[in-house]
């Protein structure tokens, strides 16, 4: 089968080669999925660059975290079903056939036909886990979403609006328009404007209740968090190295009555290992998200669709901050 493999470290178009590899075989607790479409994830750039410690298999390896397609092997209960899923180990998805753990596999939403379903899983599950499971968002609260025009950020804006929250968002340049279209009350270009000041201005000095941070902006975000506020650590698009560096000072947490909250999208079979979210919770999240999709309250933002051959170029564009929403790669 064809697969995009990381064969050396560099920019995506330097690192990736399209190669023929043996078909994978599903192991215990896995399904084999024939791919319809995959989605580009920001951390895949870190993988190409050789700086992603979380997913770091020996080269050459097949890149790619999530996909949609049809189950053609593995666990018989899943055979023939159209699914959204994460490749086992969170690599291997940018290929014609993919092994996926059953606990990271869900039925594709009926509201999202064909390749559209590829844009759904990570953004909406992660945003739900962050805002609701971990962030305990309440109607009437105020949320600040960083990188609000991105794949995950665009989902977070929509889910926060659907929950009855007031949304402020940051994004670079013209991407602020998309944040407003998705329901953000205030959209701040954080490349040209100090977002802490803008947020305090927009909230009459009170600050926001929840910050959804996929960029890695902890100190300046704590400075505009309200009493009892929750800062959700979602990711580090501004530099993944920060994930393992010291730098969080307790003072603003203590004196601001604030919480720092980690959020990890990974489901494991019940009973899940320490710290990991059980699959049963994922199934509840999936059901709630399907209700919102069916009601038309949320919709994945698909900024671009590219053929499989153009995957590296599309990932280069994401690295250059030139993408909005999800980029879908169609096989
Ligand atoms: N916790 C988890 O389990 C989990 C799972 C999946 C993804 N994530 C995280 O979620 C975040 C969003 O992922 P995504 O795939 O949806 O990506 P994305 O938001 O579509 O793309 C990343 C965005 O980050 C912003 N950005 C800020 N500083 C940047 C920089 N120095 N270089 C490039 N972009 C920068 C850009 O938006 P602007 O141009 O508007 O700034 C860019 O579009 C990432 O941090 C990712 O690691 C976490």
What are the extents of the domains in the chain?
A: 2-120+300-330, 123-262
What is the DSSP code string of 158-183? Answer: HHHHHTT-EEEEEESTTHHHHHHHTT
What distance in angstroms lies between residue 49's CA and the mean position of ligand 1's atoms? 15
Is pTM beyond 0.85? Reply is yes
> Is there an atom of ligand 1 within 6 Å of 121 CB?
no
How far is Cα of residue 320 from the mean position of the Cα atoms in its chain? 18
Is 258's C-beta closer than 6 angstroms to any atom of ligand 1? Answer: no
- Tell me which H or E stretch contains 219: helix 218-222
Structural contact between residues 306 and 329, judged by C-beta atoms closer than 8 angstroms: yes
Query: Is the CB–ligand 1 distance for residue 261 below 6 Å?
Result: no
DSSP label of 31: E
d(CA 12, CA 42) in angstroms, rounded, equals 11
Listing DSSP states for 281-294 in one string gives HHHHHHHHHHHHHH
C-alpha 2 – ligand 1 centre gap (Å) = 27
Distance, CA 33 to ligand 1 centroid (Å)?
26
Domain 123-262 carries which CATH code? Answer: 3.40.50.720
Give the Å distance between the CA of 92 and the centre of ligand 1. Answer: 20
How many residues does the structure list for the chain?
Answer: 331
Q: Note the pLDDT of residue 246.
A: 87
Contact between 50 and 16 (Cβ < 8 Å)? no
DSSP helix/strand/coil, 21:
coil
φ and ψ at residue 18, rounded to 5 degrees: -85, 120
Whole-number Å distance, alpha carbon 152 to ligand 1 midpoint, is 7
List the residue whose alpha carbon is closest to atom 39 of ligand 1: 172
Task: Confirm or reject: Cβ of 215 under 6 Å from ligand 1.
Answer: yes
The stretches in the chain having pLDDT less than 50 are: none
Identify the three-state secondary structure at position 315.
helix
Over residues 78-124, the pLDDT tens digits come to 999 999 999 999 999 999 999 999 999 999 999 999 999 999 999 99
Atom of ligand 1 nearest to the CA of 234: 1
In the prediction, which pLDDT does 248 show? Answer: 84
Homologous superfamily (CATH) for 2-120+300-330? Medium-chain alcohol dehydrogenases, catalytic domain (3.90.180.10)
User: Would you state the structure tokens that stand for residue 223, as one six-digit string?
Assistant: 């400075």
Query: CB count, 10 Å around CB of 77?
Result: 9
Q: Are the C-beta atoms of residues 326 and 124 closer than 8 Å to each other? A: no
């Amino acid at each position: 089968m064809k697969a995009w493999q990381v064969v050396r470290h560099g920019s995506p178009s330097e690192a990736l080669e399209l190669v023929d590899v043996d078909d994978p075989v599903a192991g215990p607790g896995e399904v084999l999925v024939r791919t319809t479409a995959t989605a580009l994830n920001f951390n895949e750039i870190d993988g190409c660059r050789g700086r992603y410690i979380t997913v770091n298999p020996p080269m050459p390896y097949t890149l790619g975290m999530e996909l949609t397609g049809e189950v053609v092997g593995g666990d018989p209960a899943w055979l023939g079903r159209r699914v959204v899923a994460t490749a086992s180990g969170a690599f291997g998805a940018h290929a014609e056939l993919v092994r996926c753990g059953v606990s990271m596999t869900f039925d594709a939403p009926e509201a999202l036909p064909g390749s559209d379903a590829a844009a759904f899983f990570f953004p909406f599950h992660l945003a739900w886990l962050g805002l609701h499971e971990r962030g305990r968002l309440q109607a009437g609260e105020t949320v600040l979403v960083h990188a609000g025009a991105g794949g995950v950020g665009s989902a977070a804006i929509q889910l926060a609006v659907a929950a009855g929250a007031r949304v402020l968002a940051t994004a670079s340049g013209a991407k602020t328009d998309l944040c407003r279209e998705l329901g953000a009350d205030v959209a701040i270009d954080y490349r040209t404007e100090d977002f802490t000041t803008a947020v305090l201005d927009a909230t009459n000095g009170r600050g926001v209740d929840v910050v959804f941070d996929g960029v890695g902006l902890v100190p300046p975000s704590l400075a505009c968090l309200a009493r009892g506020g929750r800062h959700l650590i979602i990711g580090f698009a501004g530099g993944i190295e920060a994930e393992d560096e010291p730098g969080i000072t307790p003072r603003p947490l203590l004196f601001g009555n604030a919480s720092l909250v980690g959020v990890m999208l990974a489901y494991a079979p019940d009973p899940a290992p320490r710290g990991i979210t059980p699959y049963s919770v994922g199934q509840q999240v999936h059901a709630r998200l399907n209700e919102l999709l069916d009601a038309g309250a949320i919709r994945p933002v698909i900024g671009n669709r590219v053929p499989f051959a153009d995957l590296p170029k599309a990932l280069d564009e994401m690295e250059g901050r030139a993408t909005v929403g999800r980029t879908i790669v169609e096989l």
